Structure 1
């Protein structure tokens, strides 16, 4: 069932009822990481194993995950090389009501500290599921960022 989510702004990343935050340092420079995130949308499945397909759209992207979750997203902020954030507008994920993902990139030595925030709201069951799935999501994000770093090397 397709759900249209509440249109929240980038500040939702700091105020959402559920915030999952994951960090990983990589050797790649912030500008290279930013370009991979913002400009090579179709390349996401090559380094993010949870992503089955991704394609850019006017003002956003469409993403399909392995397992069947689908998202239509709007880019909220694309501030090279430090911030890339997008909002999920439409999904088939049950119980979701609002969703922003934020990728913050900061210099870390000669590389980049990548901080990914999932800012979420939904039904009580959705919020609980997000919290229970956090360790697996964190592992997937850290593995993806490591794979991206290898790709950019």
Structure 2
């Protein structure tokens, strides 16, 4: 059953009760990484294995994302500061427990490549927040695998 989450703004990413932050340096330039994140939304399914489908809605202001396993999200893009920041919040999901979710991808030049930092910000009941902290290692692994795959994909273009 889909549930409406609390609408949050970009400030939630810094103040959320649960903030999981991961980073990794890749060889692709920030501009190429930003385009893959913000402009090639359907391409997410090619490099982020957890993503089964991603598509932009309303001219890119919103997104529909489906994960393997059946979790669905309807999202609103919060920030697009090319080539540095891409952030969005989840408005509707069938994932249990969440009250508010937002994610930020921050891109910092690092030599000829990019330092990619992903912040997963969330709020929910105590059990939900505790579960996310237990899931930290798995989310970190998914992030590292996805960003490595994205880097390979961008290098082959």
What TM-score results when the alignment is normalised by the length of structure 2? 0.96
Q: Distance in 1 between matches of 2:51 and 2:125?
A: 24
The Cα of 1:79 is off from its aligned counterpart by 0.6
**Residue 14 (structure 1) aligns with:** 14
**Residue 137 (structure 1) aligns with:** 139
**Residue 66 (structure 1) aligns with:** 68
**Residue 117 (structure 1) aligns with:** 119
The Cα of 1:2 is off from its aligned counterpart by 1.1
Alignment of 1:18-37 (within 5 A): 18-37=18-37
Residues 39-72 of structure 1: CA distance to partner in whole angstroms, max 9, x if unpaired? Answer: 0000101000000111111111000001111000
Identify the match of residue 126 of structure 1 among 103, 111, 128: 128
Query: Segments of 4+ in structure 1 off by > 2 A?
Result: none
- Any idea what SS the aligned residue of 1:96 has? coil
Identify the match of residue 151 of structure 1 among 129, 150, 153: 153
Q: Distance in 1 between matches of 2:2 and 2:124?
A: 14
Q: Distance in 2 between matches of 1:85 and 1:43?
A: 17
Q: Distance in 2 between matches of 1:95 and 1:124?
A: 9
| Structure 2: stretches of 5+ with no match in the other structure | none
Q: Number of residue pairs matched?
A: 153
- Any idea what SS the aligned residue of 1:54 has? strand
Q: Distance in 2 between matches of 1:28 and 1:89?
A: 31
CA RMSD of aligned residues (A): 0.5
| Structure 1: stretches of 5+ with no match in the other structure | none
Q: Distance in 1 between matches of 2:95 and 2:126?
A: 14
What TM-score results when the alignment is normalised by the length of structure 1? 0.99
Q: Distance in 2 between matches of 1:142 and 1:114?
A: 10
